[in-house]
Amino acid sequence: MNWLRWRHRLEYLAFRSIECVVLMLSPARGRELAEALASVVLGMLPHRLTRYDVAQKNLRQALGPDVPDAVIDRHIRGMWVHLFRVVIEIVQLPRKVRSENCLNYVEYGPGRQACWRAFNTGRPVMLVSGHFGNWEVANTAFGLFGYPMGVVARDLDNPYLHAWFKHFREHTGHRLFSKEGASQQMQPQLAQRGHVALLCDQDAGPRGLFVDFFGKPASTFKSIALLALEHRALICVGGAIRLPDNSRRDDAISPGWSKFQLVCEEIIDPETIDSPDPVGEITRRYTAALERLIRRAPEQYFWVHRRWKSVPQQRRAARKAA
């Protein structure tokens, strides 16, 4: 037990030391560091550690079997560069982005009016996204815009790191909800017409609802649909997409730092669902909306998740019979 505590402290000390270095990086140096780290991951680490084969398989499922290997490799490299940039941006966000300058870093994209109408109906809103773009930028922006939410995230094993990320996610007015037992935490929030934010793109296990994701059945959380139906909650599927680095026009204000576009891909109103299976219909619709969002910038999605790990019951039975 003592060794575990000391290990956690050493991990936290290493993290805070790296944080100090990252805070001193200019945007240009931050991009260079992300590209260098991506080169290390892809060029020096075994593929089994980087889940390269998983990412390759997932991308072929999403983009089609005839996509050239060079395109797949380019997307995988772009994914790792993007991921490391996300980590750097998370560290810099609290000092860099504030209410008075938020619009220097984010701009409104498609679905703006529908999104703001949803948040001003007096009904609860579930902001649903995936490991796409910079999901932490999206949460930060909504907090700075005056829409505090319950943000669902997995507890970290290291209590010191967990406390750091809890403070980070709550510094704009949100409340952190543990992914373990999230439904119980979201219930009172939604019952009081509050808002929640969560990611919906991981495997939900054998008991999940299987709906198509990039043309293949994927186990998907049905709790989102169940909560939306119970509390009349609107589902807003969206994210923060990183814009090309040469898209900035205000470098004198914020030289070189990334700019993001807030996109609302679809608003799903459970009260308008006309289906004998409303849970299935809502789950299919938010999954399809997330897929469309990812197609806008495939290199900004975290393809190493085993999204199709679970298989439908009939397939498991067929495998056992064989």
SS3 for the chain, per residue? CHHHHHHHHHHHHHHHHHHHHHHCCCHHHHHHHHHHHHHHHHHHCCHHHHCHHHHHHHHHHHHCCCCCHHHHHHHHHHHHHHHHHHHHHHHHHHHHCCCCCHHHCEEECCCHHHHHHHHCCCCCEEEEECCECCHHHHHHHHHHCCCCEEEEECCCCCHHHHHHHHHHHHCCCCEEEECCCHHHHHHHHHHCCCEEEEECCCCCCCCCEEEEECCEEEEECCHHHHHHHHHCCEEEEEEEEECCHHHCCCCCCCCCCCCEEEEEEEEECHHHCCCCCHHHHHHHHHHHHHHHHHHHCHHHECCCCCCCCCCCHHHHHHHHHC
Q: State what percent of residues in the chain have pLDDT above 90.
A: 82
Integer Cα distance of 151 and 177 in angstroms: 6
The set of residues, in sequence order, having a beta carbon less than 8 Å from that of 194 and lying 6+ positions away, is 124, 148, 149, 150
**What torsion do the CA atoms of 301, 306, 176, 140 make, to the nearest 10 degrees?**
0
Question: Would you state the pLDDT for residue 39?
Answer: 96
The answer to whether 140 and 168 have CB atoms below 8 angstroms apart is: no
Residue 122 in this model has a pLDDT that exceeds 50: yes
The mean-pLDDT minimum among 115-124, 174-183, 242-251 falls in 242-251
Percent of the chain predicted with pLDDT > 70: 93
pLDDT digits (tens, 9 = 90+) for 48-74: 899 999 999 999 999 999 999 999 999
Residue 84, token pair as written in the block: 């490391």
- CB-side exposure of 27: number of CA atoms within 13 Å? 14
Residue 214 has pLDDT above 90, yes or no: yes
Is the pTM higher than 0.95?
A: no
Per-residue tokens: 264: 């609302």
Rounded Cα distance between 50 and 26, Å, is 27
Model confidence at 182, in pLDDT bands (50, 70, 90)? confident
What's the pLDDT at 253?
A: 45
Please say if the pLDDT value at position 133 is more than 60: yes
Q: How do residues 225-273 score in pLDDT, each as one tens digit?
A: 999 999 999 999 999 999 988 655 554 444 567 899 999 999 999 999 9
Contact 279, 225 (CB under 8 A): yes
pLDDT of residue 73: 95
| pLDDT number for residue 252 | 44
Please compute the mean of the pLDDT values over residues 167-171 and round it to a whole number.
94
CA distance 199 to 153: 8
Task: Tell whether the model's pLDDT for residue 184 goes beyond 90.
Answer: no
